[in-house]
Amino acid sequence: MSGIGWAWGVLAVLPAWAQADLAPCDESRTPFAQALPHAGATAGPAQAHAVGADRFRWPGQPAEGRYRLLHSPQGGIQADVGTAARGFAQALSFNVSTEPLPAAFAWVGAGATLQFATALDRASRLALLQGQALLVREDEQGRVLAATRLQNAGALDALFADAAEPLALGIQRRPGGTEGRLWAPTARAVEVCVYPGAQAAPSQRFAAQWDAASGSWHWQQPVDLQGQFVNYLVEVWVDGQGWVRQRVTDPYAVSLSANSRRTAVLDLADPRTQPPGWGAPTGVREIKRLNEMVVYELHVRDFSRDDPSVRPAWRGKYPAFTEARSQGMRHLRELARVGVTDIHLLPVFDLATVPEKSCIEPKLPKAPPNSPLQQAAVMAVAAQDCFNCGYDPYHFNAPEGSYATDADDPFARVREFRQMVLALHRAGLRVGLDKVYNHTTASGQNERSVLDRVVPGYYQRLNANGEVEKSTCCDNTATEHRMMAKLMSDSLLLWSREYKLDSYRFDLMGHQPRAAMLAMRERLRRELGREILFIGEGWNFGEVANGARFVQASQLSLKGDGIGTFSDRGRDAARGGSFGSVKELMGSKGWLNGLLDDPAKRADAVKAADLLRLQLAGTLAEFRFTTHTGATQRGAEIDYAGQPAGYAAQPGEAVHYVENHDNHTLFDANVLKLPARASMLERLHRQNVGNALVAWSQGTVYVHAGQELLRSKSLDRNSYDSGDAFNRLDYGLRDNGFGHGLPPAPDNGRDWDTIAPLLGDPTLQPTPAQLRQAVAAFHDVMRIRASSSLFSLPSADEVQKRLRFHAAGPGQDPALIVAELDGTGWPGARVGGLLRVFNGASEAREFSVPGAWRLHPVHTARQAADQRVALEARQAKAGALRVPAWSAVAWVR
């Protein structure tokens, strides 16, 4: 045992000849992963779990029997069923344990729980983490009955996390030099390669020093490496491949060279990273409650790529936001004036799939609006073009280089990102980011796999056989492991502190533990002294569904925790189904786009109307109102696809939306679901009712960029990699993106026959005047929301007390939703009451509500976008209120 312990540390310091050999550092001379000598490596299933430092659970195996752990530092173990194992250097016996598993491993299947028969000292236990290890069950004659590799994350957490969690990982400048720390507890050696420039040949190679307590490798240099670059050489055992020397970037990199090839040594306090004015207070209003947020979801490249008022070198880049007089910035400032509070940027951390230098902008052919030629040109270069939505994380802590003017300049990425934030703050807008911690772009021995090449098998969530789970789309991360949770927490703190960010949206947040999310939010409060608001996708699916591995940060699990989750309840009620073939979508209509027009669907229509009423009440679990059944029901008692429709404890915990970057835009969904004969004016009005259903609800309001201008993606259902052509955003209001060709074949080809006639219909293309009217109508909706604090009541109790519905219950007209808010004595209400009325019918509707009501001043203003409202109100019978077809109208008392 002592010999193995000695081997652990002896390779930490390389001989002098090795320090002079720079070939392993040089991308032009050696591959990113270099095989090293070993005696053989097995690539079978990894079915046994380390559930602590010294205990293991092997699901499916009996408690009785002879179990041993076979280990060899150089590999070569053979453990074939039916024969005696051979080639191992050490065999450790086990006792069967009857103690229950730790709570974190309660999900592991039933089987044998094993503990080392002889206690191991720490050095001996650490040695077992290097090289090949197999757990075997043998018969009395020593023949193998079953063999498995190990999933070691539980042991790594137990052995190292307590000491590692407080440490500062990554690279820092210190007085008189530079230091770095990399968590790589299973590595037998870690070295540092230094590069004087982004494209320069390596200049140094030296060894990092092992810290046995934390599992990290630390290095110091008595020189300031600021502005230079480093990479690591990490020697790790990879099951199935043996010892591999990985040339890899730092997982904690804060900036990089182009295409993420090298880690920049960068002090974020360096003046070269700070634009003029960066040190001043942001000047934006702090928002402490979710239901005060009105979020505008925006892609950095979309924002300015097609804006002729932005200088060409800045289009699609961070600095475009500093063009104060551009069409885009004028548009955003106007949104801020009418009540939008937060810009949420689609992923801007370092991405894997956009070339950061010399990306290709395809030349689109001149072709009919329903031609396949445009998408063919886009798809031909999709892997090399300049666009991706960005849900492909490479480095979590560094700004994406394709949005910088010089991706090889590590200072530019940071400085220009900060310029963008500063410009948005000066426009009166808070800034939030879309964070994607639930998966990585790659794992294993892929060049773009960073975490899994540094600590194989730890950062990725594995299935019962040790294979990486991919339910999120890609290679899932194990956010329940302590050092992955640390990475998330450290990353959020860095972005919040160094870039002055105000809020976050978490992609597929339901794949992350509730406890980790709450701990991260509390850490930000404690260390920054301000509130950073969290919202996210709380979908419940995959290997973690229904709390299978931990309590998730999902819709039903976060009730009362003050983290917002996107609500599909009101979304589906309003727009109908969003999934399936186009023909299926056409038949799955919502309250906004045809459900009300089919008398045979009355039962579905009244259910949809009740779901929308519940949305207006914040999707609250305990809010009570009379539903179409005639009963007074709580939100949690109303059914939504077998789940409680109401799930939020307080307003804001449900994020309301009718469109985001996923799926068809609302305009496109309406193209598919409304009759082709529907006029463009009708489509505009229906879109605006959808906007009002979201904006006038209690809760967090979420709007997709371009939703206000009838944005289309030419009927593309999944535009994440569809290039600029299908993601065009035109703040000049020349066109809305419809009829730019058949959408890309990979996700839409099966539907081309159905959608081609629609794309070829010129009546479905709005004019610039209609786009201006749509934007003006959206502004009016937002002005009405901003006019009173009644739209953002702070508690479920106040919502219950002040909100009531008229014209509801079993005899309702499902096309008419009438919601009254009592403003008596409420600070900031500005009125005695508010009446919100939504008419989804194709005719005007009249109704009566007790009280003296007058149209909201926004509707009666000379510049009101929808002049029908005032006209219809004047035509109402005595004692009645009248609303136009397809309208959202507000009255005040």
So which residues are the catalytic ones?
A: 507, 537
Residue 684: strand, helix, or coil: helix
Find all residues with CB under 8 Å of 730, minimum gap 6, and list them: 306, 709, 736, 737
Find all residues with CB under 8 Å of 598, minimum gap 6, and list them: 589, 605
Answer for the pair 347, 508: CB distance below 8 angstroms, yes or no: no
d(CA 721, CA 115): 49
Q: Which residues pair with residue 853 across a beta bridge?
A: none
752, burial (CB in 10 Å: exposed 0-12, middle 13-18, buried 19+): middle
d(CA 102, CA 113): 12
Answer for the pair 191, 207: CB distance below 8 angstroms, yes or no: yes
d(CA 458, CA 481): 8
DSSP structure class, residue 496: H
Find all residues with CB under 8 Å of 475, minimum gap 6, and list them: 439, 440, 441, 442, 443, 449, 452, 460, 468, 469
Answer for the pair 470, 508: CB distance below 8 angstroms, yes or no: no
d(CA 610, CA 540): 23
Q: Which two tokens stand for residue 497?
A: 């502190």
DSSP structure string for 306-332: T-TTS-GGGTTSGGGGG-TTSHHHHHH
CB count within 10 Å of CB 406 equals 15
Q: Which two tokens stand for residue 722?
A: 């569809």
d(CA 271, CA 463): 47
CB count within 10 Å of CB 395 equals 24
DSSP structure string for 589-649: --TTTTGGG-GGGHHHHHHHHHHHHHHHTTSBSS-EEE-TTSSEEEGGGSEETTEES--BS
Q: Which two tokens stand for residue 143?
A: 């023949």
Quickly tell me which residue has 């001379």 as its tokens. Answer: 29
d(CA 578, CA 666): 10
Q: Which amino acid is at 343?
A: I
DSSP structure class, residue 298: E
Q: What separation in angstroms does the CA of 887 have from each of 13, 589, 684, 696, 865?
A: 74, 18, 10, 13, 12
Find all residues with CB under 8 Å of 638, minimum gap 6, and list them: 610, 611, 614, 627, 644, 645, 646
Quickly tell me which residue has 């219809």 as its tokens. Answer: 872
d(CA 136, CA 144): 6
DSSP structure string for 512-537: SBHHHHHHHHHHHHHHHSS--EEEE-
Q: What separation in angstroms does the CA of 429 have from each of 105, 340, 502, 661, 791?
A: 44, 7, 10, 20, 20
d(CA 739, CA 756): 9
827, burial (CB in 10 Å: exposed 0-12, middle 13-18, buried 19+): exposed
CA angle 875, 876, 880 (to 5 degrees): 170
- Closest by CA to 332, choosing from 414, 405, 403, 425, is 425
- Closest by CA to 184, choosing from 252, 122, 95, is 252
